[in-house]
């Protein structure tokens, strides 16, 4: 099996902050439950995804400039990727529901 096999689950890299995205997604799910309609949930997720993409872009720019302070507990690229994947998963679910 190659390292790129889709059947192999990705692993959190060493140094990635444990549960950072899990804490965020728990808050996200609780907040989504407060909206009245799936359309409102979808609009919120679209805005949330844009916000997290912008945060990730700032993170990458700081790393490229060499100004990112890599201290224990700081967010990693994995944290951003995992959070964006969770947002995207929920967004996709609501896109299908709203389109139906």
Tens of pLDDT, residue by residue over 8-46, are 445 565 655 558 888 999 999 999 999 999 999 999 999
Tell me the C-alpha distance between 63 and 66, whole Å.
Answer: 5
Name which of 80, 82, 86 is nearest 62 in CA terms: 80
The pLDDT, as a whole number, for residue 12 is 60
**SS3 of 58, please?**
helix
The pLDDT, as a whole number, for residue 34 is 96
Mean of the pLDDT values across residues 63-72?
A: 88
The pTM of the whole model exceeds 0.85: no
Q: Which helix (H) or strand (E) covers residue 10, if one does? A: none
Tell me the C-alpha distance between 71 and 85, whole Å.
Answer: 24
Name which of 26, 31, 17 is nearest 79 in CA terms: 17
Chain-wide mean pLDDT for the chain? 85
The pLDDT, as a whole number, for residue 9 is 47
pLDDT exceeds 50 at position 6: no
């Amino acid at each position: 099996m190659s390292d790129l096999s889709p059947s192999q689950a990705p692993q959190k890299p060493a140094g990635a902050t444990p549960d950072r995205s899990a804490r965020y997604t728990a808050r996200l799910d609780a907040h989504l439950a407060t909206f009245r309609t799936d359309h409102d949930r979808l609009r919120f997720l679209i805005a949330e995804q844009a916000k997290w993409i912008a945060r990730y872009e700032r993170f990458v720019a700081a790393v490229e400039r060499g100004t990112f302070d890599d201290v224990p507990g700081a967010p990693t690229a994995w944290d951003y990727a995992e959070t964006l994947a969770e947002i995207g998963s929920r967004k996709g679910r609501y896109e299908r529901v709203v389109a139906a």
